[in-house]
Structure 1
Amino acid sequence: MRLDIVMPAHNEEHRIGPTLDSYRAVCADPQTQFVVALDACTDATADIVADHARRDARVVAHEFPKLGKGGVVMEAFARSDADLVGFVDADGATPPGELLRIADAAREVGGAIACRHHPSAVLPAARPPLRRLTSAGFSFAVRRLLGLPYADTQCGAKVLRRDVVADVLPALSTRDLLFDVDLLQVARDRGHALAEVPTIWVDQDGSRVSAVKDTRRMGAGLLRLWAARRRRRERDRVPAVPAARPAAARRFDRPNVPALIGGRR
């Protein structure tokens, strides 16, 4: 099955090159494409991606006006005809071997998301205490307001099968930092199984996410999603899906963490 890996990028000139080097080296399948979704870049990101594209035809760039991460991912998903379509942060926090493991799980169940909070997850560098606190609070709010059972909605590594993308994409309404939650909520409401896969995740310097400012924005956005979902349910009279652990979530536990770094299981 062909895999397209979308990398949303806004002014990532210092990080997109090493990330593409790593993914091109590990993801050896000639049918795999690395789709860099350029979000109104004003630095040298586009030039660096173009240089990679000259050396490897699997690298593709799409340029967009400022749409935000969710917006460019949605547009790139709409242009893809691959059997599996995923996205990963341009900073390289998710090693390529881990993304391939997530793709393997998505192939089996329809969709898969990386989880940093699973007991088998590996985070070589501890996250700052404030980031851990705000992340835990946001995850709790997502579970309470939307009934989503996932421990980690915001990890930037997710893969869906083409049939799931085709069903979910037209119903998405959020292009900002709540895109991940919107994606998972719509997929679950439409009956698609998504597995949580424990991941290796390497915290990178230079994050543009503010633990305070962006958490407030995400909280306000979460309330909007909750209100919109209630209106949609009342209109469609769809019974609520009870919160439950995602099917098959633990079947992807890693038996030997070191052996999985940078490769498939």
Structure 2
Amino acid sequence: MKVSVIIPAYNEAGRIQKTLLTLKAHLEQGEYEYELIVVDDKSSDDTARLVRLEGVEPLCQMQNRGKGAAVKRGALAAQGDVVLFTDADLPYDLSLIEESVAHIQSGADLAIGSREGTGYETYGLVRRVSSAAFSFVTNLLLHLGINDTQCGFKAFSAQAAHTIFTRVTIDGFGFDAEALFIAKKHGMRIDRIAAYMKAPPIGSSVHPLRDGVTMLRSLLSIVQNDRRGLYAPGKGKRK
């Protein structure tokens, strides 16, 4: 059993070394092999250099394309039996890794974090309301039946990761909804697990109006892509 942990990173020089050291210390205690995959989304700081100092060769994007594109690149490069991604600030309890692996081993295709009642209430009101509103609109348009589509922790079986990420088209934050839609389209089993949150980061990068418009466009593109049959079996690009 091998687990691939993907960390999309953009200008994370201030914490990426601590993140990698923390992940290594945790994963070394496990009973399976692992690989760390850092995808540097064209950072303007020393992120890539600092990642190399920790013995990890980052995958470097030629241009800043967004979190979705970074996760997709990492997922398609992964060699693990379980492929998961989490945020560079490690906001979720790391026990989520073992829990998600157990779900995949028991037959789930995906194991996704859900932040309801897990410490997320301590995060900023704007961030929580924006996330809830997007999940509501996502379910209205895509009929996913998933309350928290935007949690930054998701795990996939290797086959599910390949099926999904060869079809994902969205480069930005809307990729989560697209990935879940593709999973539903292919009849995959999606298990939800409580994603216990650590202390919230200082500040917020959420811009409700700008991000809301961008995400609505992403959702409409998913609907259009589905009508064109782009998510159907046989339509994904080869790895």
TM-score range, shorter chain: 0.7 to 0.9
Structure 1 residues 11-160: aligned runs within 5 Å: 11-28=11-28, 29=30, 31-53=33-55, 59-65=56-62, 66-108=64-106, 109-117=108-116, 121-123=117-119, 126-160=122-156
Q: Distance in 2 between matches of 1:110 and 1:231?
A: 25
Task: Answer yes or no: is the 8 Å Cα contact 1:116–1:200 preserved in 2.
Answer: yes
Task: Answer yes or no: is the 8 Å Cα contact 2:5–2:85 preserved in 1.
Answer: yes
- Indicate yes or no: 2:161 matched with 1:165: yes
Please report how far the alpha carbon of residue 124 of structure 1 lies from its aligned counterpart in structure 2 after TM superposition: 6.5
What do residues 184-217 of structure 1 show as CA deviations (whole Å, max 9, x unaligned)?
1001101111111011123222443323321221
Q: Which amino acid aligns with 2:224?
A: A
What do residues 66-106 of structure 1 show as CA deviations (whole Å, max 9, x unaligned)?
22111121111111121111111111112322233222222
Match of 2:178 among 166, 178, 182: 182
What do residues 129-181 of structure 1 show as CA deviations (whole Å, max 9, x unaligned)?
22222222111111111000111111111110111122222221111111111
Closer, same or farther in 2 for the Cα pair 1:210/1:100, shift >3 Å? farther
Q: For 1:171, what is the secondary structure of its paired residue?
A: coil
Task: Answer yes or no: is the 8 Å Cα contact 2:38–2:59 preserved in 1.
Answer: yes
Q: Distance in 2 between matches of 1:180 and 1:133?
A: 17
Task: Answer yes or no: is the 8 Å Cα contact 1:168–1:187 preserved in 2.
Answer: yes
Q: Distance in 1 between matches of 2:45 and 2:163?
A: 35
Unpaired runs of 5+ residues, structure 1, are 54-58, 237-265
Please report how far the alpha carbon of residue 20 of structure 1 lies from its aligned counterpart in structure 2 after TM superposition: 1.4
- Report the RMSD for the aligned CA atoms in angstroms: 2.0
Q: For 2:38, what is the secondary structure of its paired residue?
A: strand
Q: Distance in 2 between matches of 1:134 and 1:82?
A: 33
Q: Which has the larger radius of gyration?
A: 1
Closer, same or farther in 2 for the Cα pair 1:157/1:124, shift >3 Å? closer
Q: Which residue of structure 1 lines up, in the alignment, with residue 212 of structure 2?
A: 215
Q: Distance in 2 between matches of 1:92 and 1:104?
A: 20
Farther off after superposition, 175-184 or 13-22 = 13-22
TM-score (norm 1): 0.79
Task: Answer yes or no: is the 8 Å Cα contact 1:33–1:60 preserved in 2.
Answer: no
Q: Distance in 2 between matches of 1:175 and 1:231?
A: 19
Closer, same or farther in 2 for the Cα pair 1:106/1:210, shift >3 Å? farther
Q: How many residues are treated as equivalent by the alignment?
A: 227
Farther off after superposition, 11-20 or 188-197 = 11-20
Q: Which amino acid aligns with 1:115?
A: S
Task: Answer yes or no: is the 8 Å Cα contact 1:106–1:194 preserved in 2.
Answer: no
Q: Which residue of structure 2 lines up, in the alignment, with residue 239 of structure 1?
A: none
Q: Distance in 2 between matches of 1:206 and 1:228?
A: 35
TM-score (norm 2): 0.87
Q: Which residue of structure 1 lines up, in the alignment, with residue 223 of structure 2?
A: 226
Q: Which amino acid aligns with 1:105?
A: H
Q: Distance in 1 between matches of 2:41 and 2:22?
A: 22
Identity %: 26
